[in-house]
A = this chain, B = another copy of it.
């Protein structure tokens, strides 16, 4: 259908946006056919770049007229295939809408266009003595609009929450091209349904977010990073429970298993203990005295629960070096084999130790190379399967392992995705997690907001 109408459509798009903002040549559009998810790709019909909500509205209206699907995209760092287009779809790229429009220190807010890079949002807040906490692994290149679309997490989730917790308002363009503003600078606002939260995490399937009003916090006065080494995985998991039981909520509580430690150390050379079975990277922040107290208590708990070594970062530079090393885990692991498949399961914290043992057993059962790291404090694990997509037999085992991991997660009342989204990768498992009634409710909302099914179709559910 869409292949037929494309010449007229492309011409109208080019007239409005200019030829340089409408790409159709195969060599130009190939990079827009995949995101950060392994094994998924599909060439779109065209790629268009919008610079304003009005232009987004124009594109959506035109797409509706021609009944062509639209897949919105930022930097394409997603890890569930959420921005991988369908055949015959237009990719609507917002990367050129990248301005930070306002930092309002009196109201502790920041207004940005959807294409603004997350790191720039953080830096703009930081320059005003303020703090934007969400820090997804890809924050140096991801866009804030992409973070909102996927409700991205990050390393500070335990204490500070995720992207959702910092979105106060947004400009969103609906399927029919109408432009809405949702939310306000008021820290409390109960005027009408909360639709802002419906769009957060909706992966571009309900509308196109074009501006985001973010909440900022005062910058914490002090921070301290600890590195605890364990000779047994269970001891590390037990330590996490003990920290929470002691009523301590560190801002970061990250975990790396032996394979990940060795890869990261090869890659970043920061002095991680290569022979450890597991490490915890823990950060506490806030008032200097509170940080000192908490760090001391955490160190004590680590030792009491079997840490063979607990090291406190000597200064901010060392803290940053350790955090950067952790942040490089995915890239470091990706160097080992041609294909890196990152899982994103999350379980209630109390199920953590059992879940990790289950992942190890699944790796053995299917004879696969699985390295695990993740946000232990959030119960969010990233078992990472190191494989080769050209090896059909191994890929079959990968699929079986993937299904087993999901099975274990659901058995433990966990979720199939903690922070990466459903996209294409987790679509087959969503209904089982949600149950029939909740799943049907999702579809009902989708039909109401996108009756022609043109906004990122085929994602989350069919």
A interface list, Cβ under 8 A from B: 104-108, 129-130, 150-151, 153, 157-158, 162, 164-165, 174, 178-182, 184-195, 197-198, 200-202, 206, 217-219, 241, 244-245, 247-249, 286-287, 289-290, 293-294, 346-350, 375, 378-380, 413-422, 426, 430, 433-435, 437-442, 444-449, 460-461
- Extra contacts, 5 of them, besides A157-B187, A191-B416 (Cβ < 8 A), are A105-B245, A191-B430, A192-B434, A192-B439, A195-B445
A442 contacts which of B157, B193, B289, B349 (Cβ < 8 Å)?
B193
Pull 9 A–B residue pairs with CB atoms less than 8 Å apart, ordered by A.
A180-B437, A186-B348, A186-B379, A186-B380, A193-B460, A194-B202, A195-B442, A218-B249, A444-B448
A195 contacts which of B129, B198, B378, B380 (Cβ < 8 Å)?
B198
Chain B residues positioned under 8 Å from A378 (CB to CB): 186-188
- How many angstroms from the CA of A448 to the CA of B187 in the assembled complex? 29
- How many angstroms from the CA of A65 to the CA of B414 in the assembled complex? 37
- How many angstroms from the CA of A165 to the CA of B164 in the assembled complex? 10
Q: Are A191 and B426 CB-contacts (below 8 A) given A248-B218, A286-B287?
A: yes
Min CB–CB distance A348 → chain B (angstroms): 4
Min CB–CB distance A449 → chain B (angstroms): 7
- How many angstroms from the CA of A104 to the CA of B350 in the assembled complex? 10
Q: Smallest CB-CB separation from A215: which chain B residue?
A: B161
- How many angstroms from the CA of A48 to the CA of B237 in the assembled complex? 48
Copies in the complex: 2
A290 contacts which of B194, B217, B289 (Cβ < 8 Å)?
B289
Min CB–CB distance A138 → chain B (angstroms): 15
Q: Are A437 and B178 CB-contacts (below 8 A) given A106-B245, A287-B287, A448-B448?
A: yes
Chain B residues positioned under 8 Å from A151 (CB to CB): 190, 194
Q: Is the pair A202, B193 in contact by a Cβ cutoff of 8 Å?
A: yes
- How many angstroms from the CA of A174 to the CA of B179 in the assembled complex? 29
Q: Smallest CB-CB separation from A348: which chain B residue?
A: B185
Chain B residues positioned under 8 Å from A164 (CB to CB): 194
Min CB–CB distance A136 → chain B (angstroms): 12
Chain B residues positioned under 8 Å from A194 (CB to CB): 151, 164, 197-198, 200-202
Q: Smallest CB-CB separation from A420: which chain B residue?
A: B190
Q: Is the pair A422, B219 in contact by a Cβ cutoff of 8 Å?
A: no
Q: Is the pair A415, B193 in contact by a Cβ cutoff of 8 Å?
A: no
- How many angstroms from the CA of A375 to the CA of B347 in the assembled complex? 37
Q: Is the pair B108, A346 in contact by a Cβ cutoff of 8 Å?
A: no
Q: Smallest CB-CB separation from A439: which chain B residue?
A: B192
Min CB–CB distance A7 → chain B (angstroms): 32
Min CB–CB distance A377 → chain B (angstroms): 8
- How many angstroms from the CA of A197 to the CA of B350 in the assembled complex? 25
- How many angstroms from the CA of A202 to the CA of B197 in the assembled complex? 13
- How many angstroms from the CA of A105 to the CA of B130 in the assembled complex? 32
Q: Is the pair A174, B441 in contact by a Cβ cutoff of 8 Å?
A: yes
Q: Is the pair A188, B418 in contact by a Cβ cutoff of 8 Å?
A: yes
Min CB–CB distance A246 → chain B (angstroms): 9
Q: Is the pair B195, A441 in contact by a Cβ cutoff of 8 Å?
A: yes
A192 contacts which of B346, B350, B442, B447 (Cβ < 8 Å)?
B442
Chain B residues positioned under 8 Å from A187 (CB to CB): 157-158, 346, 349, 378-380
A415 contacts which of B150, B189, B217, B441 (Cβ < 8 Å)?
B189
Chain B residues positioned under 8 Å from A448 (CB to CB): 444-445, 447-448
- How many angstroms from the CA of A421 to the CA of B460 in the assembled complex? 32
- How many angstroms from the CA of A181 to the CA of B438 in the assembled complex? 7
- How many angstroms from the CA of A151 to the CA of B442 in the assembled complex? 22
- How many angstroms from the CA of A282 to the CA of B215 in the assembled complex? 22
Chain B residues positioned under 8 Å from A247 (CB to CB): 129-130, 218-219
- How many angstroms from the CA of A147 to the CA of B449 in the assembled complex? 28
Q: Is the pair A437, B174 in contact by a Cβ cutoff of 8 Å?
A: yes
- How many angstroms from the CA of A181 to the CA of B436 in the assembled complex? 10
Chain B residues positioned under 8 Å from A150 (CB to CB): 190
Q: Smallest CB-CB separation from A460: which chain B residue?
A: B192
Q: Are A106 and B349 CB-contacts (below 8 A) given A287-B286, A290-B286?
A: yes
Q: Are A188 and B349 CB-contacts (below 8 A) given A442-B195, A448-B444?
A: no
A198 contacts which of B191, B193, B346, B440 (Cβ < 8 Å)?
B193
Chain B residues positioned under 8 Å from A186 (CB to CB): 346-348, 378-380, 413-415, 418
